[in-house]
A = this chain, B = another copy of it.
Amino acid sequence: MAVRQGLDTETVLQAAIEIADVQGIEQVTLAALAAKLNVKTPSLYNHIKGLPDLRRLMSQRSLQDIKAAMVDAVIGKSGDEALLAAGFAYVNFARNQPGLYDAMAALPDLEDPQVKEASTQVVMFILRLLASYSLSEEDALHVVRGFRSIVHGFSSLEMKNGFRMGLERNESLRRLLTTYLRGLSVTS
């Protein structure tokens, strides 16, 4: 025993994400994580500072991956088409990695500098999608808040079984996003 498992922070993080996605975020305990990695719980402290630190790492990774998914989705697209694609990419990320997404959403506060930075990256990405709309800086920031509220709210409700009617979910999302975009295009 006491065989070196060759762990590092990234491996621990990956295992935590896997537990979160398969069993749910509340099952991400150091005990479960250690068992999965064939190690005793205290050994994890060589790679992470503790459970709060692990959750912080998960939040940060979640934001980075969501941004990457959106960046990929908008390749070759612009305007409404790009925003629609980004919105779907966001929601599909939450669908594919519910535990990791939850880790981001469940973070009590976004005080940590690195998490804050990852969050800022998401905001700046959306701002760039809005560049072609010729909005004032203030207007654009309100729209970013709107867009994020929409995709996060939809993801969150869908994930928690909040949509119980037998209604096509992608159609709901498509309508939500296009309705909002249509509202933006009308010079009230």
Contacts and interface: CB of A to CB of B under 8 A. Distances in A.
17 contacts: A26-B108, A110-B160, A110-B164, A141-B167, A142-B176, A143-B175, A145-B163, A145-B172, A146-B179, A149-B157, A152-B157, A153-B154, A153-B156, A176-B180, A178-B183, A183-B184, A183-B186
Interface residues of A, number: 47
Interface in A82-120: 105-111, 116, 119
A83 to B, nearest CB: 13
A176 B108 contact: no
Contact of A148 (B26, B109, B146, B162): B162
A4 interface: no
Interface of A: 24, 26, 105-111, 116, 119, 123, 138, 141-143, 145-146, 148-154, 156-157, 160-165, 167, 171-172, 175-176, 178-184, 186, 188
A111 B167 contact: no
Given A109-B160, A146-B175, A182-B182, 18 more contacts: A24-B108, A106-B106, A141-B165, A145-B157, A145-B167, A145-B172, A145-B176, A152-B156, A156-B156, A178-B183, A178-B188, A179-B180, A179-B183, A179-B184, A180-B180, A182-B183, A182-B186, A182-B188
Contacts of A148: 153, 157, 162
A109 B156 CA distance: 11
